[in-house]
Amino acid sequence: MWFAKKRRRRGATTLKSRSANAPGQWKTFWGAPLRWLGVALVLAGVGYGLWIGAEKLRDPNAFPLRHVRIEGELRNLAEADLQPVAAGVLGQNFFTADLDTLRATLAGNPWVEKITVRRWWPDVVDIELRERIAFGYWGKDEMVDVNGQRFQPPVVRQPGPWPRLSGPSGHEKALIKTYGEVRALFEPMGLRLATLRQDERRAWWLTFDNGLEVYVGRDQFEQRLQRLAQLYPRILSARIDQIAVVDLRYGNGFAVRWKAGEAPAAPTAS
């Protein structure tokens, strides 16, 4: 009798429990999809707002660029060389103006060694550049900078005198170094080196600012220059106005070609 009652009570309890949990089961089934739907709606709203904002930022008539600022030491460049190019972005939208093309165009100037173009809020284009430092002329139509890079500038505003170098391609740095060494050797005695040339046979020619031309040759370059440094004050300087070329290609002396067109003298003992 007790067993039968217990079974009926268990059945009633089970039916009551299922009836109470029905709403919870509905939430379990629909809760996650509804949450994701809410998240999707929020993200869609944010994305739409961002899209509207981006469209307004890209409006060609909004946030126009009004000023160009140029920074850097200018010696052979002038703002007049840069402003007309930079003026092309004035009036364009701050966010969409094509500064990469502007930078590439300005970098095409041979005097520009390095350049950076940036935006500065709210309406400024900032151009920061480093001008190439020229060393002198190279050959007939080019110049060479202090790093041995050759270039062809449209205009040279920096006053000279510029030394003139020429030699085989790839020897630019070597000629710059040699020029400095020769100048340091002869300048104390009043000889300023104006031209340094190395021909295709690797033979050296020197021309000083007083018109004296010296043929050093290809071998024993340093030894021959030392010989000239010893001979010039003692023998050559007194007749420098009459000398056209000094030829150092002799083991114990030199030869001279006179400006009057006379035949070169026989080698002279040093």
How confident is the model at residue 95, as a pLDDT?
92
**Do 164 and 224 fall within a single domain?**
yes
Question: Using CA atoms, how far apart are residues 17 and 263, in angstroms rounded to an integer?
Answer: 131
How confident is the model at residue 34, as a pLDDT?
61
How confident is the model at residue 175, as a pLDDT?
98
How confident is the model at residue 28, as a pLDDT?
62
Question: Using CA atoms, how far apart are residues 158 and 149, in angstroms rounded to an integer?
Answer: 18
Task: Tell me, yes or no, whether 106 lies in a domain.
Answer: yes
CATH number at residue 205: 3.40.50.11690
Domain end call among 78, 97, 131: 131
How confident is the model at residue 9, as a pLDDT?
47
How confident is the model at residue 251, as a pLDDT?
80
Q: What's the domain range around 106?
A: 67-131
**Do 155 and 223 fall within a single domain?**
yes
How confident is the model at residue 68, as a pLDDT?
94
**Do 34 and 110 fall within a single domain?**
no
Domain end call among 116, 131, 146: 131
**Do 189 and 249 fall within a single domain?**
yes
What strands lie across the sheet with 193-198, from one edge to the other? 150-151, 142-145, 134-138, 164-166, 193-198, 204-208, 213-217, 243-247, 253-258, 268-269
**Do 87 and 202 fall within a single domain?**
no
Low-confidence residues in the chain, pLDDT < 70: 1-31, 34-35, 37-60, 261-270
How confident is the model at residue 146, as a pLDDT?
97
Domain end call among 94, 110, 131: 131
Question: Using CA atoms, how far apart are residues 34 and 219, in angstroms rounded to an integer?
Answer: 91
Mapped to the 3 state alphabet, what secondary structure does 1-40 carry? Answer: CHHHHHHHHHHHHHHHHHHHHHHHHHHHHHHHHHHHHHHH
Other C-beta atoms within 10 Å of 258: how many?
A: 14
Query: CA torsion sign, 245 to 247 to 248 to 254?
Result: negative
How many domains does the chain fold into? 3
**Do 150 and 189 fall within a single domain?**
yes
How confident is the model at residue 125, as a pLDDT?
96
How confident is the model at residue 3, as a pLDDT?
31
pTM for the model: 0.74
Q: pLDDT tens digit string along 201-246?
A: 999 999 999 999 999 999 999 999 999 999 999 999 999 999 999 9
Query: What percent of the chain is modeled with pLDDT above 90?
Result: 67
Burial class from Cβ neighbours inside 10 Å (0-12, 13-18, 19+) for residue 127 reads buried
**Do 119 and 238 fall within a single domain?**
no
How confident is the model at residue 2, as a pLDDT?
29
How confident is the model at residue 51, as a pLDDT?
53
Helix, strand, coil percentages in the chain from 3-state DSSP, rounded to 5: 45, 25, 30
